[in-house]
Structure formats: C-alpha cells, structure tokens
Amino acid sequence: MTGQLTFHGPAKIDGTVEGEVLCHGVLTIGEGAEVRAKVSGDVVIIRGSVEGDVAAKKKVELESPARLFGNIDTPRLVVTEGVVFDGDCSMRGAREKGEEK
C-alpha cells in the first residue's frame, strides 16, 4: 500500500506500507509489517519494522523484535529487550506535565 492511511479507532498493520499513517486511536504495527512512512497516533505499538518518524499523543511502545529507524516524539516511551532503535527521542509532553505539578 502506498499513500496516506487514516484510521478512526484501533488499527493493525501486518503488511507493507509506504507514505503516511495516521491513527485516531491505538495503532499496532505487527511483527511481519514493513512500514516506510511517517506514523502518528494516540498510542503506537511497534513489533515490526519502521523506517520513518513516529509521533504519539500518549505513548509509543517498541516490543521485540521491533526495528525503528527514525525519530520518536511522545510523552511516554516503553522499550523491551531485543528492540533495535536508531534515532532521536523527544519527550516534550512529559517535561511539560512535570512542570505543571
């Protein structure tokens, strides 16, 4: 699939996607998935391969055997053992919440 994908609610990708993915809900990228795209959602769970930047309003989870080559922008990040992550991570939302206390 090439182009822009938009989901309203939970979604799972198990195939190959190029372009842009936007999910208003929980987006899961399965173990067999190969995604070359800008990815954004409320919660993004990655178990497959992603080349591109990932932004999540609430949380990004990288679960083995995930491979992410790109930057992350999220207030919460969970990484399990065995994950490959090559990029930068910004947690601006987490810092802003800490300043509100």
Distance CA 55, CA 77 (A): 11
pTM of the model: 0.91
Q: What is the pLDDT of residue 94?
A: 62
Comparing C-alpha atoms, which of 52, 80, 77, 47 is closest to residue 65? 47
Burial code (b: 16+ CB inside 10 Å, e: under 16) for 59-80 equals bbbbbeebbbebebbbbebebe
- What is the tens place of the pLDDT at every residue in 77-100? 999 999 999 999 999 866 655 555
- What is the tens place of the pLDDT at every residue in 31-80? 999 999 999 999 999 999 999 999 999 999 999 999 999 999 999 999 99
Does position 10 have pLDDT exceeding 60, yes or no? yes
Does position 30 have pLDDT exceeding 90, yes or no? yes
